Amino acid sequence: MVHLVRNLVRVLFLVAVLLLTATYGMANVQKQGDPWLDPVVTKGEFDSTTWIKTNTQPTDHFQADIFGGELIMGMTTRIPIVGGDWANAPDPISNMRDSQQIYQTNSAGDAYALCKQYNLSYVFVPLNRQVFCGFGWISINATKFDNSDYFKLKYSNEDVRIYQVA
Amino acid sequence: MRMFESTKWLNKAKIRERLRSLDAVTVLRYVVIVALFILFLSYRLNVLGGYVIPTYGNTMYHVGIERLTLETGHYPTQELSYNGGFPNFYVPAYRLLIVSQAAFTGIDPMVMSGLMTIALAIAVFGVIYAFSKQLLGASAAVCALFFLTLSPEITIFTIRALPELLGLVMFPLTLFFVMKNRKEGPFQFNGYVALSVIAAAVTALTHQITLLILALVLAVYALTQIKNRNEFLKAIVPLVASIAVYGLWQVYSLHTLSILGLSQVRYHEGTPVDFFASAFTVGFFDRAGLLVVPFAAIGLVWLEIKKVEKRFLLYSWVIATLLLTKNDLLGIHIFMDRFLTFFVESLIIAGGVGAFAVLQFLDASIGRAIERDPET
């Protein structure tokens, strides 16, 4: 009898602990964990990597932000101006600064000059999110890429445009 | 019964005997393990819920190196990062694990990275159980699994396809082999020493931050065992192995042993850890979870009161990772928030010990109360 009561107390205690864990505890885990599950890049950006893989050369370099660049790297092995491991990159801070400048500047000529300086063949332009080149989230000034003297639109969907540097 | 009939290679009598001998506490323990495992696993399945795996923490960069390795048949010597054209010195163990599984199954490395994230998260669950059980027994290990399942920090680092995740398995596994080696007397190079050396070497080739943690924990443990030559060598041998393996890798890939030129060191990558989160700091209590801290304190005190064998291994883990987490106070300012993950991992084990001690005390008190007055 004493054994039975003692085991009953143990079972009730564990049931209570497990119920609290499954409800309040897991809700807290979800609250903390969910932001880290965010893919950041959009579905259209992901879909565009099939086009990149098929229509660009393995040696082509891309203007992209860190998340876009790593998506391109991961799905196509093409090389972005920023993203990945900066441990022994020659001058990663300049890459970040200039990548951000390509997206932000109003001048198509300035953006083109920077693309040439880094030997970038394509510009990856996300349309439905801000970009992160290393110094915070910024909005893209996308209209300058429509200047066909410097950039040629090669691919587009609802989330992204990809321009070839002329 | 049918299941037993069909598995004739098993000793039926032994299994029946074992099942009959299960006491209530053991059955409850298994129930709790299964329940916690279901909760732990169910959240990790979200990793495969989208069109792409979670991308925070350079996950797709690793997929890129894995894809290139699959396509070319060799681990790239040049980087894809930051416009490429410079040596790739990132240690290869995690990436080669993904590559081998992708090559074996034909599954795309991006999808395989997600699948392996879940598999490695399960391995973290297993290794925390194994380490805690080896330290104090199965009940304390179950309590540790409770804190593991509820840990925000461990959740954040077990839902992303990162080499650090393999580090969260290999580092405690190395310590587990050191702990499991209970051979007394003069030092012998036995199976556990060999396993600790292999695990340390794999850790060294998995993740540089994890290697630093492993090296410091083993060094602190060796110092605490300076008067016990056998125990001292059990820590020093895997420590030397891990450093030697990493040194060879860095000389091969970078042609130097110096790490002072690395961007992480030059630009002091990392966020300071404070008690609560702010715009410039990671919050310790947010990440560790409020519950684990008092139980960890109780656990550490209890280990000392009971003079539990090998407790100094856990003390070394706590001290070394705390020092690394607060390295900004020492003027170093590198990866404070990344070291926090391993500090929290140590607190989870200590918390398991503390919860076990509290439960044991409560259980004994209730038992005494029932025996005193069985009628009520």
pLDDT band at A21 (very low <50, low <70, confident <90, very high): confident
Rounded to a whole number of angstroms, the distance from the CA of A19 to the nearest CA of chain B is 10
pLDDT in tens, B233-267: 999 999 999 999 999 999 999 898 888 888 888 88
Residue B349 in any domain: the answer is yes
The reply to whether A30 and A50 lie within a common domain is: no
Residues 6+ apart with CB under 8 A from A28: B150, B152, B289
Q: Within B22-108, where are the H helices?
A: 24-44, 59-72, 93-105
- Closest partner CB to A88 (pick from B36, B43, B87): B87
Which of A5, A11, A29, A82 is the best residue to mutate to test the B interface, defined by the most B CB atoms within 10 Å of its own CB? A29
Which chain A residues are Cβ-neighbours of B287 within 8 angstroms?
32
- Please state the domain count of chain B: 1
* Dihedral sign for Cα atoms in the order B192, B198, B201, B207: negative
B249 lies in a domain? Answer: yes
Same domain, A65 and A113: yes
User: What confidence tier does B5 reach under pLDDT thresholds 50, 70, 90?
Assistant: low
ipTM given for this complex: 0.94
- What mean pLDDT is predicted for residues B106-134? 98
Same domain (yes/no): A13, A63: no
pLDDT above 70 (res B3): no
Q: Which residue of A has its CA nearest to B283?
A: A32
pLDDT band at A42 (very low <50, low <70, confident <90, very high): very high
Distances B308 to B136, B195, B301, B358 between C-alpha atoms, Å: 7, 23, 11, 16
- Write b or e for each residue in B34-56: b if 16 or more Cβ atoms lie within 10 A of its Cβ, otherwise e: ebbbebbeebbebbeeeebbbbb
Task: Answer yes or no: do A86 and B82 touch at CB < 8 A.
Answer: yes
Domain interval for residue A8: 2-37
DSSP type of residue B83: T
Higher pLDDT, B290 or B217: B217
- For A74, the closest of B28, B43, B64 (CB atoms) is B64
pLDDT tens-digit readout, A72-118: 999 999 999 999 999 889 999 999 999 999 999 999 999 999 999 99
Q: For strand A151-156 and strand A160-165, is the pairing parallel, antiparallel, or unpaired?
A: antiparallel
pLDDT score, position B1:
47
| A-B Cβ pairs (cutoff 8 Å, strict) | 182
Residue-number span of the structural domain to which B352 is assigned: 21-365
Q: From residue B332, give the alpha-carbon distance in Å to each of A38, B325, B326, B327.
A: 31, 11, 9, 5
Picking from A3, A29, A39, the nearest residue to B50 by CB comes out as: A39
The answer on A29 and A59 residing in a single domain is no
pLDDT band at B327 (very low <50, low <70, confident <90, very high): very high
Give dist(CA A156, CA B112) in Å, integer.
Answer: 28
Cβ neighbours of A141 (radius 10 Å): 16
Indicate the range of A27-31, B8-12, B92-96 predicted with least confidence.
B8-12
Same-domain pairing of A118 and A138? yes
* Amino acid B218: pLDDT: 98
Q: For chain B, what percent of residues have pLDDT higher than 70? A: 97
Quick one: A30 and A102 in the same domain? Answer: no
Local confidence band at B6 (pLDDT 50, 70, 90 cut-offs): low
B180: nearest Cα among B166, B167, B196 = B196
Residue B241 lies in a domain: yes
Is residue B219 one of the residues assigned to a domain?
Answer: yes
- Regarding whether A141 and A98 lie in a shared domain, the answer is yes
Domain membership flag for residue B116: yes
Same domain for A18 and A99? no
Closest CA to B57 of B128, B148, B158, B125: B158
Q: Is B371 part of any domain?
A: no
How confident is the model at residue B8, as a pLDDT?
A: 59
Partners of A83 on chain B (C-beta within 8 Å) are: 58, 61, 81-82
Q: Tell me what pLDDT residue B108 has.
A: 98
| Greater model confidence, B248 or B89 | B248
**Residue of A7, A21, A38 with shortest CB distance to B39:** A21
| Phi and psi torsions of B271, nearest 5° | -115, 135
pTM of the model: 0.93
* Number of compact structural domains in chain A: 2
Looking at the fold, whether A96 and A14 belong to one and the same domain comes out as no
**pLDDT for residue B7:** 56
Q: B61, A70: Cβ pair inside 8 Å?
A: yes
- The percent of residues in chain B predicted with pLDDT above 90, rounded, is 76
Residue B288 located in a structural domain = yes
Domain identity same for A98 and A124: yes
- Please give the C-alpha separations between residue B199 and each of B165, B179, B219, in angstroms, as whole numbers: 15, 13, 16
Per the CB < 8 A criterion, the answer to whether A18 and B142 are in contact is no
CB contact under 8 A, B51 and A79: no
Q: Are A138 and A130 in contact (CB under 8 A)?
A: yes
Q: What is the pLDDT of residue B263?
A: 83
